[in-house]
Amino acid sequence: MKTALVRIGNSRGIRIPKPILEQCRFEDTVEMQIENGRLVIAQGHLPREGWEEAFRAAGPSTHDELLLDTRNQFDREEWQW
């Protein structure tokens, strides 16, 4: 399918027909990247999508020790905890 590029200010855009939007399940945002000189447009992902699965895959939080000791001399000697 050929389509014309439409001027939008200093940029250009394309109009994506409704059947293609529905078939690709495009909603409000998409992700674009260049692969081998081609523009690839894919479904947009929600912020933090997949985080819950990643946390579950990391295992239980039974060893919640402090990984980095970020305390300084003031924290160790003068601060009242």
Domains and CATH numbers, the chain: 1-45 (2.10.260.10)
pLDDT tens readout for residues 40-79: 999 887 778 888 898 888 877 766 666 677 778 888 788 8
Residue 13 confidence (pLDDT) above 70: yes
Cut 0.85: pTM above it: no
Distances 76 to 21, 57, 67, 70 between C-alpha atoms, Å: 59, 35, 17, 10
Q: Residues 6 or more apart from 3 whose CB is under 8 A from it? A: 14, 15
- What band does 5 get if pLDDT is binned at 50, 70 and 90? very high
